[in-house]
Amino acid sequence: MKNTAWSYFLPMLNRQDLFTVHMAARIIAKLAAWGRELMEGSDLNYYFNWIKTQLSSQVQSQEQCPPVIIFHSFMAFILSSGFLFQSSQYVQCVAGCLQLMLRVNEYRFAWVEADGVNCITAVLSSKCGFQLQYQMIFCVWLLAFSPQMCEHLRRYNVVPALSDILQESVKEKVTRIILAAFRNLLEKSAERETRQEYALAMIQCKVLKQLENLEQQKYDDEDITDDIKFLLERLGESVQDLSSFDEYSSELKSGRLEWSPVHKSEKFWRENAVRLNEKNYELLKILTRLLEVSDDPQVIAVAAHDVGEYVRHYPRGK
> pLDDT tens for residues 229-247?
999 999 988 877 777 888 8
Do 140 and 158 form a contact (C-beta atoms < 8 A)? Answer: yes
- In this prediction, residue 300 carries a pLDDT of 93
- In this prediction, residue 220 carries a pLDDT of 84
- In this prediction, residue 175 carries a pLDDT of 96
d(Cα 260, Cα 5) in Å, to the nearest integer?
56
Q: Which of 96, 103, 139, 104 is nearest to 119 (CA)?
A: 139
- In this prediction, residue 79 carries a pLDDT of 39
Digits of tens for pLDDT over the chain (318 positions)? 567 888 889 999 999 888 899 999 999 999 999 998 999 999 999 999 999 999 998 766 655 544 333 344 333 443 333 343 456 788 999 999 999 999 999 999 999 999 999 999 999 998 889 999 999 999 999 999 999 999 999 889 899 999 999 999 889 999 999 999 999 999 999 998 899 899 989 998 989 999 999 999 988 889 999 999 999 999 988 877 777 888 888 888 888 888 887 888 888 888 898 999 998 999 999 999 999 999 999 999 999 999 999 999 987 765
Average pLDDT, the chain: 87
